[in-house]
Structure 1
């Protein structure tokens, strides 16, 4: 397994790429946004690498497996994830994502709540195809849960209808 030079800092910044060790191999996440309450938004890319890629820009140009709010700063300080690079956030991930949540899954009777950083709204109808791709949250999964979501190939549009 090739060695990669880790970033020599523990303070997380937008654009930081972090290494995730899973039972299936190494994959990566990127810090895409910060928020005063939820701290960080991260995009997780489910592509496994036998050795670190030379150019992380190619990884983050792809569609992420999922997006979530996550306490990446704490995870880095605890040594759970290592910062490995910093690259610009891809254009398709540059806008603050719209998250969705519900307090009651009841099929077509479900009330959905949407949140996009500062703006909030709700709908009482079935989700559109596009809305089904909105990340779940905001929530703060633990590091083990984040890894489990990767390993189980979690997809919001399939696993959080």
Structure 2
């Protein structure tokens, strides 16, 4: 009987040791995951409403002002006027002036990949998300008109011809950095887009 107890106790001890080893390995792997997550989280650059960013183009530096975070489309930016050979010393006049247009742009990703560079911050008190934006409606290569999009309800209204006020509406949709730079270099404007 005594030999059986020793045999059972040694078997149980082996299982307990094996179980403890498994728990330690599990905890070690999860600790690595947490450390990796913390390192990633600390390495991402945070953006805040009001931040002003610089983006380089072949024709000079352009500036973007982050004014709104849309729950579906992400960061809404004001594309500020002008292309500059050198960074302006004072951004107050540039940011407070009328923008070229507003677009949705993957700003966090562009910032984390160093496509844009933070240069300043400016209050967003005077800048709201536009109530209406527009987009061309093209099917199978045929232009059918313009969608006027209500940014609060996301309802679209199709119009054939734009009024003077509708020509001032910014494009509805998300632009990546390649499209933005292309449009900046081509001096694209809302007035030309009709």
- Structure 2 counterpart of 1:17: 52
- Residues 57 and 88 of structure 1 are in contact (CA less than 8 Å); yes or no, is this contact kept in structure 2? no
- Structure 1 counterpart of 2:129: 96
Q: Quick one: distance in 2 between partners of 1:75 and 1:111?
A: 29
Q: Which has the larger radius of gyration?
A: 2
- Structure 2 counterpart of 1:3: none
Q: 1:124 to 1:78 in 2, by over 3 A?
A: same
**1:65 partnered with 2:124:** no
- Which of 67, 73, 88 is equivalent to 1:53? 88
Q: 1:19 to 1:38 in 2, by over 3 A?
A: same
- Which of 136, 148, 160 is equivalent to 2:171? 136
Q: Quick one: distance in 1 between partners of 2:118 and 2:189?
A: 24
- Residues 146 and 160 of structure 2 are in contact (CA less than 8 Å); yes or no, is this contact kept in structure 1? yes
- Structure 2 counterpart of 1:110: 145
Q: Quick one: distance in 2 between partners of 1:59 and 1:132?
A: 23
- Residues 29 and 44 of structure 1 are in contact (CA less than 8 Å); yes or no, is this contact kept in structure 2? yes
Q: If the length of structure 1 is used for normalisation, what is the TM-score?
A: 0.80
- Higher deviation after alignment, 20-29 or 145-154: 20-29
Tell me which of the two structures has the higher relative contact order, counting C-alpha pairs closer than 8 angstroms and 6 or more residues apart: 1
Q: Could you report, residue by residue, the CA deviation over 1:30-80 in whole angstroms, capped at 9, with x for unpaired residues?
A: 111110100111111232333322321211112212211100111001111
Q: Quick one: distance in 2 between partners of 1:52 and 1:157?
A: 27
Q: Quick one: distance in 2 between partners of 1:75 and 1:118?
A: 28
- Residues 45 and 66 of structure 1 are in contact (CA less than 8 Å); yes or no, is this contact kept in structure 2? yes
SS at match of 2:192: helix
- Which of 14, 37, 41 is equivalent to 2:76? 41
RMSD over aligned CA atoms reads: 2.2
Aligned length: 148
Q: Structure 2: where are the runs of 5+ without partners? A: 1-43
- Residues 81 and 94 of structure 2 are in contact (CA less than 8 Å); yes or no, is this contact kept in structure 1? no
Q: Structure 1: where are the runs of 5+ without partners? A: 1-8
Superposed, 1:119-130 pairs within 5 Å as 119-130=154-165
Q: Quick one: distance in 2 between partners of 1:26 and 1:111?
A: 31
Q: If the length of structure 2 is used for normalisation, what is the TM-score?
A: 0.68
- Structure 2 counterpart of 1:85: 120
